[in-house]
């Protein structure tokens, strides 16, 4: 039986508040465990072109820099998103250095610098690491309200993987819109949810 929150907003706000209250040391410990699980996935081992994101730690996201560096160390191609000039879409750029190839951009998120090569088509990407605020155990995801990733991933049929603390994964079905894109896998500090098989 599905349990639906009356509104998305209050649930997202509550979970974001709880997530932000996690001590930085706890968040780092959780993410270390999550990354260890992620690196063991067949989906990661097979992927050569990976779209990830630069975590906004001030809002409670994981610091993803260690993972971004690990992807590069593993000789894989790393891409980060950048808000397009139309304010609706994301453009993807390959980066080779997580310090010199990024700058503070839209929504105070680190994103690729303007002087990088032309944007990369999504069709080249093998795996996407997707940020989010709230999830459920079946792969449903709430983002942050702008819909950038749902637009980007509408026709993407390869692995979509999210990282989240346990407190962000609901044990009931979230109310979703037909345009919301579900995750393939969600990894927390204690569990791996293989959502494509549920």
88 touches 105 (CB < 8 A) = no
Q: What is the pTM of this model?
A: 0.92
Backbone angles phi, psi at 104, to 5 degrees: -70, 125
Residue 2 lies in a domain: no
| Number of domains within the chain | 1
pLDDT of the chain along its 198 residues, tens only? Answer: 334 444 578 999 999 999 999 999 999 999 999 999 999 999 999 999 999 999 999 999 999 999 999 999 999 999 999 988 776 789 999 999 999 999 998 888 999 987 777 788 999 999 999 999 999 999 999 999 888 999 999 989 999 999 999 999 999 999 988 889 999 999 999 999 999 754
Inter-residue contact 126 to 49 (CB < 8 Å)? yes
Q: Is residue 138 part of a domain?
A: yes
> What pLDDT does residue 7 have?
57
Show the domain range for 41.
Answer: 8-197
Q: Find the CATH number of the domain harbouring 189.
A: 3.40.50.10420
Instruction: With respect to residue 170, please indicate whether it lies within any of the assigned structural domains.
Output: yes
Q: Looking at the domain assignment, is residue 144 inside a domain? A: yes
Give domain status of residue 33, yes or no. Answer: yes
> Is the residue at 3 inside a domain?
no
Q: What is the CA radius of gyration of the chain?
A: 16
Asked, for residue 157, whether it belongs to a domain, the answer is: yes
Fill in the DSSP letter of residue 130.
E
Q: Which stretch of DSSP H or E encloses residue 192?
A: strand 192-194
């Amino acid at each position: 039986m599905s349990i639906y929150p009356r509104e998305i907003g209050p649930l997202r706000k509550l979970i974001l508040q709880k997530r932000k209250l996690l001590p930085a040391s706890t968040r780092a410990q959780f993410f270390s465990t999550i990354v260890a699980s992620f690196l063991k996935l067949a989906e990661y081992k097979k992927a050569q072109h990976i779209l990830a994101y630069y975590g906004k730690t001030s809002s409670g996201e994981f610091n993803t820099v260690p993972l971004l560096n690990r992807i590069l160390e593993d000789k894989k191609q790393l891409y980060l998103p950048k808000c397009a000039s139309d304010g609706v879409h994301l453009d993807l750029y390959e980066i080779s250095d997580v310090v010199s190839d990024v700058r503070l951009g839209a929504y105070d998120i680190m994103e690729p610098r303007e002087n990088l090569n032309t944007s990369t088509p999504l069709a080249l990407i093998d795996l996407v690491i997707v940020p989010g605020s709230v999830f459920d155990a079946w792969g449903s995801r709430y983002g942050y309200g702008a819909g950038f990733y749902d637009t980007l991933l509408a026709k993407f049929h390869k692995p979509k993987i999210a990282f989240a603390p346990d407190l962000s994964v609901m044990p009931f079905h979230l109310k979703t819109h037909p345009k919301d894109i579900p995750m393939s896998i969600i990894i927390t500090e204690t569990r791996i949810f293989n959502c494509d098989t549920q």
